[in-house]
Structure formats: C-alpha cells, structure tokens
Amino acid sequence: MTKPREWGNDAREMRDRSAEEVVRAISLLTPLMENERQMTKEEVIRRVSQSLVSLHLAARLLESAGAPTKP
C-alpha cells in the first residue's frame, strides 16, 4: 500500500479548522437529538443557527483548500 502524501501547510490548516467547526456543530446539535434537557424555542434556534454557521464555514475552508463542492 502506498503511503498517503503529506498535506501542504495551507491545506492542513484548512483541514484542521474545518474539523474544529464540524465538531463544534456536532456539540451544539447533539443535545437537541438526545433531549438532555428542556430547551426553549430560542435556545433551539440559537443552536441550529450556530451549527449552520459552523458548517458553512467548514465548507468554505475545505473549498479554499481545493475541495470540490456543489452549490
């Protein structure tokens, strides 16, 4: 099996930042799925909105490193 090539510095940074944003979105959305506690409608909207922003940022970061995406 061939060894995977190293990521370039810029691509590595975009990969890592994207991963951080995805993990942030997961941590915001998980309590909504698990019903850990009662949340107000405003709290649910805030969590979903922040998650969407994080996922949008992750997609833009990956695109800047050359990942092809469809609009």
Count: domains in the chain: 1
Domain of 40? Answer: 10-64
In a domain, 43, yes or no: yes
Q: Which two tokens stand for residue 7?
A: 């990521």
In a domain, 3, yes or no: no
Contact 17, 61 (CB under 8 A): yes
In a domain, 57, yes or no: yes
- In tens digits, the chain (71 residues) has pLDDT values of 677 667 677 888 888 999 999 999 999 999 988 876 788 899 999 999 999 999 999 999 999 888 888 87
Let me know how long the chain is: 71
pTM for the whole thing? Answer: 0.79
In a domain, 14, yes or no: yes
